[in-house]
Amino acid sequence: MIIRPYTKADKSACLEAFSSNMPGFFAPEERKDFGEWLDQQEKRDLSDKNECYFVIVTDEKIIGCGGYYIRPDKTTAVMTWGLLHQQYHKQGWGKKLLQYRITAIRAVCPSCAIQLDTTQHSAPFFGKMGFAVTKVTPDFYGPGLDRYDMELKN
């Protein structure tokens, strides 16, 4: 298993992983947003550690992706588009990717609060990983997909 920076060549595998989680974890209309966001990642300066996006690879196959950005005031880091291909759920890969992202954030901004937003379907995973719910917004992502804002407890 390796975790490495995202490249343009990874886009189709990341979109495939995203699609495997629809409609349960993502609303179908979010796929377009994710694809456009990935296009922006291709233009990013890889030496800028204030915003990073990674892929997790096992057996030479991309099975997931996720990243973060640090807000300009350097007080908060926000997790971005973290996901695994559905066939790799509940096998420890998500935990490895999340821990990698937290470690990367701490290396750049040790005192940053770490936040994320997710659905009610992924919130229990993040709760087990030390995140606490700070706000719930019903149907935010689409019908039946509530937004859970969460923050890592110190």
Q: Is the pTM above the cut of 0.85?
A: yes
Phi and psi dihedrals of 51, rounded to 5?
-150, 120
The Cα–Cα gap between 55 and 66 comes to 7
Taking all residues of the chain, what is their mean pLDDT, rounded to a whole number? 95
Residues 6-16, mean pLDDT to the nearest whole number: 97
- Give residue 46's pLDDT: 78
d(CA 46, CA 25): 29
pLDDT band at 24 (very low <50, low <70, confident <90, very high): confident
One-letter amino acid at 39 equals: D
SS3 of residue 65 by DSSP: strand
> What band does 43 get if pLDDT is binned at 50, 70 and 90?
confident
Both tokens of 74, joined, read 């350097």
Torsion sign (Cα): 131, 136, 140, 145 = positive
Give all strands (DSSP E) within 36-153, no chain letters.
Answer: 51-58, 61-70, 76-84, 113-119, 131-142, 145-152
- What pLDDT, on the 0 to 100 scale, is given for residue 94? 96
pLDDT score, position 145: 93
Question: Considering the domain 2-152, what is its CATH architecture?
Answer: 3-Layer(aba) Sandwich (3.40)
Does residue 14 register a pLDDT over 80?
A: yes
Nearest to 35, CA basis, from 60, 14, 56, 6: 14
pLDDT band at 45 (very low <50, low <70, confident <90, very high): confident
